[in-house]
Amino acid sequence: MTRTSRLGGTLAAAILCGFSIAPAAVATSRPGLAQSPDQQHAFDFHFGAWRTQILRRASTASGATRWIRMTGTVIDRPLWHGRANLEKIEASGSGGHFQGLTLFLYDPKAGEWSQQYADSSDGIMNEPVYGQFRNGRGVLFGWSGSGGKRTLERDTWSDIMPNSYHFEIASSADGGKSWVKEFIAQLTRVEKQPDYGTSSSAGSGPEHGFDFNIGRWSTRIRAVLNPLSAPGVWSSLQGTHVVYRIWSDWANMGQLEVDGPGGHIEDLALRMYDRKAHQWRVYFANSDSGTLDAPMVGDFKDGVGTFVFLHEMEGKTVLVRNVWSGMTSKACHQEWAISADGGKTWVPTWVSTDRRGG
């Protein structure tokens, strides 16, 4: 991956890292897509709270098909002034009860949207689907399934009215020649403005590791533009960091807006807790690229949070480490570093302090 020429460029792994990462190439084909005029506000209709009626296709032990009925609520809030949005979903019925979230990101270079879903069972983002809106109808394509069986997925928004819309997911096992409906939802608006209504009180247990960070902070940052080729060249940024709950005990989001030598930067960090693995996954995206990066993985121990992942930077594969410390009700500290020798030595790339109230 290549680096941008300025700190405020495509920081696709999140400005929180203190280094820029170009958008990852999509390894899957995107059937049925074609370029169209800019449509960064195509999902504006979706903002607000909705009541949903769901039919979900399932198979019995004998292989027969049956439809499961569920009812629930969908709440969608805009991010980056409409160039992204986050959907919170909860439903119950004969298929049980589930909580989930969907992140929608607009890629200005491709002129298309991506959509990725995760639920409370594992906090792992599904593979993205990609697409556009044409003539009041949105169609996004991608891959679904795991292991040896892979199928095409098609997500469709239609019959879009001010207070209702229709959504379907279909799959194809023959390369798009035929499609089978897997999920059908009819949504009716119940409120104009989104209200997540999630408790702001702190909880206990590892799934509440980020509770200290909930709220609004002012942030001051020192970051390295090129940590491998110029590790000693630092830049200063400052702005705000706002963190809010999506679900009370497994998902939250941080939104960073800072200004520095490269101009204004908007970033987000989506954090989800995997109750089975007992660890957090933190996904990053930047408004310039509109893509979601592979997650950092880690946890909190003895008042310190440590998260790591592998990444390609300046032509080398490096370890990236993010450490949270000094966490109080009024301040917290982050440090980022990279290692090109498997963790033997570390090069600092980012130091930041968040404080309450400016």
Q: How many domains does the chain have?
A: 2
Q: 181 with 85, same domain?
A: yes
pLDDT class of 358 with cuts at 50, 70, 90: low
Above 60 in pLDDT, residue 199?
no
Neighbours of 151 (CB within 10 A): 16
The confidence score (pLDDT) of residue 38 equals 61
The Cα-based distances of 87 to 19, 28, 104, 156 in angstroms read 28, 24, 8, 16
Q: 97 with 212, same domain?
A: no
The confidence score (pLDDT) of residue 328 equals 94
Above 70 in pLDDT, residue 291?
yes
Q: 133 with 95, same domain?
A: yes
Condensed to tens digits (0 to 9), the pLDDT of residues 60-112 reads 777 778 999 999 999 999 999 999 999 999 999 988 999 999 999 999 999 99
The confidence score (pLDDT) of residue 95 equals 83
Give yes or no for a contact between 254 and 272, defined as CB atoms under 8 angstroms apart: no
Give the separation between CA 37 and CA 132, rounded to whole angstroms.
Answer: 10
Q: 124 with 242, same domain?
A: no
pTM: 0.85
pLDDT class of 195 with cuts at 50, 70, 90: low
Q: 50 with 154, same domain?
A: yes
Print the domain residue range for 206.
Answer: 198-356
- Kindly state the tokens that stand for 258: 């800072």
Give the range among 5-9, 146-150, 219-223, 309-313 with minimum mean pLDDT: 5-9
The confidence score (pLDDT) of residue 10 equals 30
Residue corresponding to tokens 């979230």: 101
Q: Does 6 fall in a domain?
A: no
Above 90 in pLDDT, residue 257?
yes
Cβ-Cβ contacts under 8 Å for 10 (sequence gap 6 or more): 4, 20, 21, 22, 23, 286, 288, 289
Question: What CATH code is carried by the domain that includes residue 323?
Answer: 2.40.128.20
Give the range among 36-50, 72-86, 252-266 with minimum mean pLDDT: 36-50
Condensed to tens digits (0 to 9), the pLDDT of residues 324-349 reads 999 999 999 999 999 999 999 999 99
Looking at 191, 223, 238, which one is the last position of a domain? 191
Condensed to tens digits (0 to 9), the pLDDT of residues 176-185 reads 999 999 999 9
Condensed to tens digits (0 to 9), the pLDDT of residues 108-126 reads 999 999 999 999 999 999 9
Arithmetic mean of pLDDT over the chain: 86
Condensed to tens digits (0 to 9), the pLDDT of residues 15-41 reads 334 333 332 333 333 444 443 446 899
The confidence score (pLDDT) of residue 239 equals 97
Q: 173 with 217, same domain?
A: no
The confidence score (pLDDT) of residue 194 equals 54
Give the closest residue to 102 by CA, choosing from 137, 59, 142.
142
